[in-house]
Each structure stands twice: as structure tokens, then as C-alpha cells.
Structure 1
């Protein structure tokens, strides 16, 4: 297998992003028929089905393998354009996966310099949000080129570096404590106390209660608020007990808007940055760092300042 058509690989990446032939065609400014032809040509070249034509469409396992290659090729193409001082192709972007709590606290300031440079050079940064235990799946499937994850082990062909520890603490509003927990949260009442949870992937509350009261797999009354910022606001409004990032909770505790239930107890989540290895040394001068490496370095600097 050689000389894979880059235009066909771009089609595959657009189909993975847009999940439909119509939207992929609009993104690439070509007809749906052209998208179908390029995909069929690529499938014929590799001898395997790459896309399941469902609604929404999805990639097969061979399709995911080629998607990883397409993403890396796009990143290399962006680096070449930047190295030559040219304009990056329209709609060219680097996708990375981050967890919602990092996005709500330290990731945006960390990436600001990279994004500001991208505005001038024409490339974009796409942030995909998922739970920190699941962002690694996006990397494995080729959907993104890098991710912030709790997974320590690097995938084959990837680099990994530790970022730091994100600490989660249990908090509630003073009004909630007076009305619902006048004697405090304890082993006798945690099961009847509402706990706010971001989504069904979020298990910080269960981990905190298990540590606090020595209970294995505690069952909680869960109330779902699927947004990091809205989650903290809901805790402040007295909707229930929250287990929130200390970075978010600290100023609210200092102002009296929140009360820390057990200041000495927290859930520590170690975060790592993963990225695919690219042939950046072949396309970048010694004085220039490849874009994906710049993103990783910016996140490492931001994490060093914000995380333990």
C-alpha cells in the first residue's frame, strides 16, 4: 500500500468530524458525489470498508487506523505551511481532547498564546471535551492528536508526560448545610443526601464518600448537572453536595459562598498529556517547534503553575 490520496484522506477526516456526507461536502466545498467517489477510491485502494453508512455514519476499525494517519498528515501539512511562511489551508485545525474541569480552570489560559498565534497564521485548535478517564479513547480512535487523560501508559506511537495532580474537595452552600445537614455530613446521612454529579462517567463523589467513611462502592442520591461551571453554580445555589476541583472551589470557600465539608480530605486525580509522534524534525527547522509539540509544552507550563 502506497501513495494514499491526501484528498481522499481529507474526506475521511471530514466524514469522521461531520458524521454525514452532506456536511462533509459542505466543509470541503465539494459535492456529495465527490466525497463518495473519493471514499470509494480510498476503500478500493486499501481493500477494506472504512465507513459504515449509517445515521450518523461511523468509521470501521480500518477506518480509524487511516483516520489517525489523516490527522497526522494534516498536522504535518500545517507545520510545513508555517515553516514556509505560507497560509494554512482553510478549515485546517488540530484537535485535542480535554476533560471539562481542566477546561473550566487552567487549560484556556495555558493555550492562549498558541491560539493567538494561530489566529495570525490561519490554523485553528479544536477542543473535544470528555471525562478524563475517557479522553484517551478519542486518541486511540484517531479522532484527536493529543489528549489530557488519567491514563499513564502511552499508546504505541505516542508520547506521554505527567502534568500534575488535580485535587477535588467536597463542598456545599452554607444554606444547604443549615437546612439539610445541621450536624454535618456523616456515615449515617450520606446515603440520603443529594450529591451533584456532572454525568454518569463522573465518579469523584463515590470516591470521596468511600474515602471519608470507609464504605466500599457507596450508593448515593445523584443529581446530574452536566457542565463544570454550572455544576459549581448549582452547589452554590444549594442543590446538593458537590465534589469539585479545588481550583474552582478555593475562592468560593474564601468568600463564604461555599463550605468545605472535610478540608483535610480530597480526591487526587493525576493527569497526563498524550500526543502522537509526528515527523516534526523533518519539517521544522531546529529553532521552530512543531505545532503539536507547542500545544503540549503550553499545557505542561500551564499545569505546572495551576496543579500540584
Structure 2
């Protein structure tokens, strides 16, 4: 059975605008026409695609169908780029979104993004999301892939190892003198204010556990909204925290920051999660990201070989 393209686009417009009215404005039709098309699509599939509450929500089948619509759009854009490499008059390029955490985009992924923009004819959107993993938007098709520390992929997706990112636990010299003058102990670590990015506490929890051999159940957690604000707070002596080694290397060398536990880094393994069945343009971009990331990040050759031989999928 061939799905009706007008019905699919009406459904996608409702999901993307979260409104039947706004979907009608986008497609230059009446609200009734949008409602009829979505209803006809649900009848053709014999299932409900949208939970018509406020806000609108997708059903499990609706998530699968939205991903299908995005894949069709990307495949069509890729076909046009091959048939008419210099563009088609009146036709815009297909936007394509990728999910990346704030620390990655501020360090290694910025170089990867530049390569993607130079090599591809799509309009790239980098969605910075520290929800780890950012799988709901991936499975719905809102993004074509995301960087995550989680090795197990979401339904219908695959996960590829791309490397490790070393973090250092750092503080300003003044902060060290105030809170850690007698050493970095479990008591001082849990008494001193820690500065974290967003609501992500797992990394610092892991680090403290590795240092002291016991879980630090409670410590003073302060959450900041961006990697830049976290970095500035630590440099200003407001708190201590984990930052990518690439970010703090020069500050450690100059003495502006101090590594609270010298020679002990936290190595965070990163994975690229992507659709298992994807249009060629998505597969090419995923390949670019994996290859570029492995050039930049510290990766174990044995792990990469193992990952290539047996990719993790569900």
C-alpha cells in the first residue's frame, strides 16, 4: 500500500507545529482539510497516530510514521542534489538536525560540524541537548543522530563507538586553598560547592566514587545552564567540577586552574547513535561524523576494531 504524500505532510506539519491551525497555515489549506487528511491517514493504517490533548502527542506508531516522513524528505533532497547539483530554482535545501552535548560542541564537535557544512548540501542544525541519552527525539525522527555516553541504542537505531573524552576535576588556586588545603578528601569534596552542567551529575558521581572507593551520596551541587557558564564559574573560584581536558589544558599549564587529583582523569566513552535504516545522505553524514570523531578523540584501536566487527544494534 502506498501512503498518500499529502496526508503524510499534513500529519508531519501538525506534529512539527503542535497545532492543526498552524499546520493549515503552513500548507495553505483549511484546518478542516488538515484534520480530514490526518484522519484518512489513521483510517488507512487502522491506528491512532496522534493523542489529541494539549499539547499534542505522538503515539508509538505516530513516532514510526514521523521518522518515515523525515526519511522521505531527506531521500528526496538527496535525489535532487544528485540530479541538479547546482540546485533547483524555488527549492530550498533540506534541514538536517544532529544532537550533541554542550561539552562536545564546545570542544571536538565544532571541527566536525565545520567539515559537515563544507562537504554537504543540507542545512545543518546542531541541537545542543544534555539529556543523556537524547533518544526520544532520535526515534521520532526529529534528529538523524546524536552523541551519547550510552552504549545501548534505542529501538530502530545503531550505536557506533567514536572514542573517549578525558575530563579533569579542576578548581581555582584560591578555591583549593579555601576548601582543599588539607587535601582532596571525601569530607572536603562533599562539603565544597561543586559546579555542574545542567542536571548531569553522573560524571562527577563516577569520579568521586573512583577516587574514594565509595559513593558520595550527597554533596553541594550547583547547576549551570551552559558549558561556558560552568567553566567561568570554576575559573572565578565559585566551585569545583569536571571539565574536558581540551578545555582546561592551557589554564592548567598557566596555573589559573589546578587539577585537584593530578594524574587521575575521568575517561568518558562516546557513541554515535543513528538510524539503522537511513537514507544515503544520512548514512554519508554518519560516516563523516564517525571518521572525523575518531581522528580527534582518543580512541582505543582494539575497541574500534571490535566495534566495527560487531556493531551494537537492536
Asked if TM exceeds 0.5, the reply is yes
Between 1:150-159 and 1:201-210, the stretch displaced more is 150-159
Instruction: Please tell me whether residue 293 in structure 1 is matched to residue 283 in structure 2.
Output: yes
1:304 aligns to what?
294
1:115 aligns to what?
117
Gaps of 5+ in 2: 299-314
Q: How many residues align?
A: 295
Give a deviation string over 1:63-111, Cα, whole Å, max 9, x none: 1111121121122112111111143944732222222211121212112
Aligned-residue RMSD, C-alpha: 2.5
Q: Which of 81, 100, 104 matches 1:98?
A: 100
Residues 184 and 261 of structure 2 are in contact (CA less than 8 Å); yes or no, is this contact kept in structure 1? no
Residues 210 and 216 of structure 1 are in contact (CA less than 8 Å); yes or no, is this contact kept in structure 2? yes
Give a deviation string over 1:136-167, Cα, whole Å, max 9, x none: 33323433222222232445644432110112
Secondary structure of residue in 2 paired with 1:271: strand
Secondary structure of residue in 2 paired with 1:233: helix
Secondary structure of residue in 2 paired with 1:190: helix
2:245 aligns to what?
246
Distance 1:202 1:25 in 2: 43
Secondary structure of residue in 1 paired with 2:286: helix
Give how far 1:210 is off. 1.0
Instruction: Please tell me whether residue 265 in structure 1 is matched to residue 267 in structure 2.
Output: no
Give how far 1:18 is off. 3.2
Between 1:227-236 and 1:49-58, the stretch displaced more is 49-58
Structure 1 pair 201/279, CA: closer, same or farther in 2 (3 Å)?
Answer: closer
Give the TM-score normalised by structure 1: 0.85
Matches within 5 A, 1:1-308: 2-28=1-27, 30-85=29-84, 86-87=87-88, 89-90=91-92, 92-118=94-120, 121=121, 123-131=122-130, 133-155=132-154, 157-278=156-277, 280=279, 290-308=280-298
Distance 2:21 2:250 in 1: 47
Gaps of 5+ in 1: 281-289
Secondary structure of residue in 2 paired with 1:274: strand
Distance 2:290 2:81 in 1: 23
Distance 1:51 1:296 in 2: 30
